[in-house]
Amino acid sequence: MRVSWRHLLLAFVMASCLWVVISGREQVEIWEKASVELKGMPTDLTLLSGLPPEIEIRVRGPKGLVRTITNRQLTYVLDLSKVRPGLNVLPIQANGIRLGKAFDVVEVRPSRLTLEVDKLVEKELPVVPRWSGELPPDLFIESATADPQYVTVSGPESELSALSDVEAVTPAPAIENPGSVKLDGTVSLSLRAKATPPIVEVTYILGLLSQERTITRNVIVIPREGLDIELAKRSVKLTIEVPDSLKDDATLLNSIRVILELPEDIAPGEHQLPYRLELPDRIQVVGTEPETLTVTVSKK
């Protein structure tokens, strides 16, 4: 009996169609991951812990279609409309995952979530400035104030109840001499809390770390042609303020000088004259004794 090639072709096509139908109906299972999407959270509550970034689901479906799941971004919608402050145990419902009628969710891992929920509250708190880093040499913070002095903080009740103030953090002031400086301070809170405003202006007043020392210096007299100059006292006692880092610098201290220079129009006789001081940088005079010099001027 001879078989026509047309009959062979028809048999092949029918067999292929039958294979597609049978394989398409064959049920297989795979594990996939689904991200968790929240809905219905009450506005006066906040979620503290217990929420995983994703869950695992075991899906059963036709072999020919199940591969399409791996190319989809699966999402599980978690309804939080009934949660209350404290621990809430929520089962993972299979109908929270939208896959289509051809698929069944066989298993979910984890099967339930234990979520910690707290009340969302607001609290007005004072701001305490704090700097981060090293202060300039010989300087210290005399005072620090924030503007505004109070901020409104919102966050979990359990967290805010323990706060009596908040810190506003700035870089360390970077000025060379005593004085004031203004810097922006960031209110430091946990990720679950926020401040309004989040940035405040911090004013620092910096003082000098120093020591007072008393030294005596002989008066250097600038001579005047044709005149004799006599001093009742040839030395001056100086009280100086020296930065801590320079207190043992003998060369610097020895460079301090007391100089007397006569006025151009001075007449012979006894006079009370001021003197001038030559001081290195960062040295300040706190007191002098005497404040003026008794000088007798006569012609040669």
- Which two three-digit tokens encode residue 277? 């001081």
CATH 3.50.50.60 for domain 210-299:
no
Outline which parts of the chain fall under CATH 2.170.120.40: 122-208
- Longest CA–CA separation in the chain, Å: 159
Q: Is the pTM of this model over 0.95?
A: no
Outline which parts of the chain fall under CATH 2.170.120.30: 28-110, 210-299
Contact criterion met (CB below 8 Å) for 74 and 35: yes
- pLDDT digit string, tens, across residues 24-60: 457 888 888 889 999 999 999 999 999 998 999 888 8
SS3 sequence of 154-188? EEEHHHHCCCCCEEEEEECCCCCCCEEEEEEEEEE
Domain 28-110 is of which CATH architecture?
A: Beta Complex (2.170)
Q: How far apart are CA 193 and CA 283, in angstroms?
A: 48
DSSP assignment letter at 97: B
Domain 122-208 is of which CATH architecture?
A: Beta Complex (2.170)
Question: pLDDT per position in the chain (300 positions), as tens?
Answer: 455 655 556 655 565 554 544 444 578 888 888 899 999 999 999 999 999 989 998 888 887 777 777 667 888 889 999 999 999 999 998 877 877 777 888 888 999 999 999 999 999 999 999 999 999 999 999 999 999 999 999 999 999 999 999 999 999 999 988 999 999 999 999 989 999 999 999 999 999 999 999 999 999 999 988 889 999 999 999 999 999 988 888 898 899 999 999 998 899 999 999 999 999 988 999 999 999 999 999 987
Contact criterion met (CB below 8 Å) for 52 and 35: no
- pLDDT digit string, tens, across residues 53-99: 899 988 888 877 777 776 678 888 899 999 999 999 999 988 778 77
